[in-house]
């Protein structure tokens, strides 16, 4: 298992819909929270990557498999890891579940992944600068393609 | 009554919450749709105002009085007008109601206003260029302060 | 090609992010708009399906491949069709593109699908009632598995 | 000064818009986070108030004065208190600012209030049950009208 982080959040009323559960698009917002947290743990701030290096992680694909509904006020844990990375793209993997403290015990809410390409401010694809290689595990046995 | 436009939209599932009605913050999104439509009718595209003239309508205040809940799939009419405008700021007024075709007849959903200041890309306050004065009714008896 | 509908929408300011393009989770909101429109064209109102028959289309999976960024004020066309349907689930396919009137010509923004299971108000899986079979193309050569 | 709580959150990428700052409707989502936190500190869970007592705090009015833009990854503190409460309605007051740890020091982002009426599941106005009176400060010198 690759290095993974766990971000925690509490379901907002705004995130529910009239079915009484979380609206499905919000899981992608939560994945974003997960990967920002992973970046922080890997040694950089995604905000600075944009601001200082002019590198953006443009989403090329997102996929989510919904396993159990999340509900208002649930505490959600977003586990995130680098599934695959190279000089042209990175894929993050996610597992979302309720926290152990949840009355019903920890339930897996969803699993999924997002694939990103590196682009400049004007959306031209660029190779990932070397300083980020080790952080994404590029050039190590674990994740190189 | 000043010149007003009517923008129409249909309530999205994503906009409802577990109470079975539209979440209250979405009314501010609908007001945005209303004022963009008003700008278009007044003779300019808000997108171009930003892109070509570098002028942004930063929100300084928003107020909404909720009168009846909006529900999924309702057709909503956002009536918008310039309540007050001068070289430093503009206030838009709004009335949101369901369309006449609504089975229950047209109901007023909300009324409110948003006040904006003109800022540059880096958030410095700037006076509104003259080319927009007439469109906002500045310099006419109707809306000058 | 199966029967498809085209829903139109205009990109809201609220849907953009600081990268200057539409935030990726909003494409799933647009897909929802597309499938509601498709249901209407197939002969039923999704709202009534929930209200009157107590049937909900719970999302089991969503996938989106992002091909070009959508921008503020773009007019977007959401083409939607039934990719596969049976008594236990339905898969909708989507193609999102800018309208022909777009200055840059029509660009494909994204393609994707969502898979749904039929559930009752309390999230128990139920078989799709017969009255909906023909509308989803179940029992015809075209879409039966 | 009445009893107040401070909820903390970090600005999500999804909450920014193409102006590079937080979209204005999201401040109302943050106010919701603030008042849920206040309820918890006052001794009850808003989720249970809905579920067990069938009481909903329907928003009757919302007002927000925007003082400084919030940006991606900012840590935001939502200070919330009961501004006024009686058997028919409650008004919450809010002050949103960046956390002290913010490089630029703590800035006030916004101030505002929301006014709510108590309603049943079917949106009929109901008086607030006695068990909540003391928590909202009803019947004490401080907040009774």
Quote ipTM for the complex. Answer: 0.93
Chain C neighbours, 3+ Cβ pairs < 8 A: A, B, D
Query: What phi and psi values does residue A91 have, to the nearest 5 degrees?
Result: -115, 125
**Inter-chain Cβ pairs, chain C and chain D, closer than 8 A:** 28
C17 given a catalytic annotation: yes
Name chain B contacts of C45, Cβ cutoff 8 Å. Answer: 73
Closest in D13, D14, D18 to C20, CB measured: D18
Are D20 and C16 in contact (CB < 8 Å)?
A: no
pLDDT in tens, D28-76: 999 999 999 999 999 999 999 999 999 999 999 999 999 999 999 999 9
Total length of chain D? 145
Q: Give per-residue pLDDT as tens, D62-120.
A: 999 999 999 999 999 999 999 999 999 999 999 999 997 766 678 999 999 999 999 99
Distance in angstroms (rounded) separating the CA atoms of residues D10 and B42: 38
Residue with tokens 């089975």: B103
Q: In the prediction, which pLDDT does A144 show?
A: 44
- Give the integer Cα–Cα distance in Å for D34 and A143: 42
Q: CA D60: distance to chain centroid? A: 13
Count B/C contacts: CB-CB distance under 8 Å: 24
What pTM, to 2 d.p., does this model score? 0.94
Structure tokens belonging to residue C134:
């023909």
Give A27's strand partners.
none
Determine, for residues C61 and A64 on separate chains, whether the beta-carbon distance falls below 8 Å: yes
- From chain C, which residues contact D within 8 Å (Cβ)? 13-14, 16-21, 23, 25, 72
Q: Which residue has the tokens 């799709």?
A: C128
* Contact (CB, 8 A) for A15 and A22: yes
Distance (Å, whole) CA D138 – CA B54: 50
Are residues C108 and C96 in contact, defined by beta-carbon separation less than 8 angstroms? Answer: yes
C106 backbone dihedrals φ, ψ, rounded to 5° = -75, 125
Whole-angstrom Cα distance, residue A60 to residue C64?
A: 8
Per-residue pLDDT reduced to its tens digit, B22-34: 999 999 999 999 9
- Measured in residues, chain C has a length of 145
Q: What percent of chain C has pLDDT over 90?
A: 89
The pLDDT of residue A105: 74
What pLDDT does residue D101 have?
73
Chain D residues at the B interface, defined by Cβ less than 8 Å, are 19, 21, 24-26, 28-29, 32, 56, 58-66, 69, 114, 123
């Amino acid at each position: 298992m690759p290095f993974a982080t766990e971000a925690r959040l509490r379901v907002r009323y705004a995130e529910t819909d009239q079915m009484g559960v979380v609206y499905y698009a919000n899981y992608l917002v939560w994945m974003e929270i997960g990967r920002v947290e992973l970046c922080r743990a890997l040694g950089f701030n995604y905000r600075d990557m944009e601001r200082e290096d002019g590198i953006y992680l443009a989403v090329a694909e997102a996929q989510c498999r919904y396993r159990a509904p999340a509900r208002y006020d649930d505490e959600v844990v977003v586990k995130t890891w680098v599934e695959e990375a190279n000089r042209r793209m990175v894929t993050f993997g996610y597992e979302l579940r309720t926290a152990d403290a949840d009355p019903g015990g920890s339930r897996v809410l969803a699993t999924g992944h997002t694939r990103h390409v590196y682009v400049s401010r004007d959306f031209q694809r660029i190779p990932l600068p070397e300083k980020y290689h080790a952080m994404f595990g590029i050039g190590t046995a674990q994740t190189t393609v």
